[in-house]
Amino acid sequence: MEAAIITFDDFTDIDVFFMWDLLNRVGDPNSRVRILGESEKHASSTGVEIRRHGHISETSGCDVVLFSSGMGTRRKRTDAEFLSAFRLDSERQLIGSMCSGALLLAALGLLEGKSATTYPTVRTLLESTGVRVVEQPFVREGNIATAAGCLAAQYLAGWVIEEKFGAAKREEVLRSIQPVGEGLYFSDTEQVAGAHATRNDGAQTASAAR
């Protein structure tokens, strides 16, 4: 699996790092998760700076493309240069968004005639683009999915993991982050020992660039 998480300035921390952490827990040596952006660095709304692993145009070669969210989506949805860098194909790629990232899917024409979910504060804006917005944590339409409410990243990442690695891997990864006593138990030690996020090729590339 070659997966990309799309970032931009003014992203929401948890909507990038939660997907990142979950997808890295797969621990498949032939997989790579990378953070792609337009610029070398992007800063979240709280000022956390992240260095990209590659340019957004590299999404063409990815199996999975997930758009993060944050205040920045309001600007990027009308940024022609940003939008024109994407050559996505929902026939061969899994494409998804967290929260207001749905505005970017809509701007790319990927939600035409489809249902989608988004963060409450941009529901009206997404509706104004013609999308049928539904109050659900996760909406899948073929190879395109939208998730909303930060913790719904579990559904979005879970969908990707199940599609690419099967239901057992999805269960292993999602179990590893549940609260102890509420989905994760001391007796799960063996089961979750392998499901911690470790450095992958994407991260190594980034590290070398630093």
Give the residues lining the site for a second copy (CB under 8 A).
12-14, 17-18, 20-22, 24, 43-51, 71, 117-121, 123, 135-138, 147-152, 154-155, 176-189, 192-193, 196-200, 203-204, 206-207, 210
Provide, rounded to whole angstroms, the least separation between the CB of residue 204 and a second copy.
6
- Amino acid identity of residue 136, one-letter, is Q
Q: Which is nearer to a second copy, 45 or 78 (CB)?
A: 45
- With tokens 């509706």, the residue in question is 127
Q: What is the DSSP string of the chain?
A: -EEEEE--TTB-HHHHHHHHHHHHTT--TT-EEEEEESSSEEEBTT--EEE-SEEGGGGGG-SEEEE--STTHHHHTT-HHHHHT----TTT-EEEEEGGGHHHHHHTTTTTT-EE---GGGHHHHHTTT-EE-S-SEEEETTEEEE-SGGGHHHHHHHHHHHHH-HHHHHHHHHTTSPBTTTB-GGGHHHHHT-S----HHHHHHHHH-
Provide, rounded to whole angstroms, the least separation between the CB of residue 105 and a second copy.
16
Provide, rounded to whole angstroms, the least separation between the CB of residue 28 and a second copy.
14
Q: Which is nearer to a second copy, 60 or 129 (CB)?
A: 129
The tokens describing 18, both together, are 């939660």
- With tokens 């997808």, the residue in question is 23
Strand partners, 155: none
Q: Which is nearer to a second copy, 59 or 118 (CB)?
A: 118
Provide, rounded to whole angstroms, the least separation between the CB of residue 97 and a second copy.
13
Provide, rounded to whole angstroms, the least separation between the CB of residue 168 and a second copy.
18
Provide, rounded to whole angstroms, the least separation between the CB of residue 27 and a second copy.
11
Q: Which is nearer to a second copy, 86 or 155 (CB)?
A: 155
Q: Which is nearer to a second copy, 47 or 113 (CB)?
A: 47
Q: Which is nearer to a second copy, 143 or 205 (CB)?
A: 205
For 134, other C-beta atoms within 10 Å of its C-beta total 13
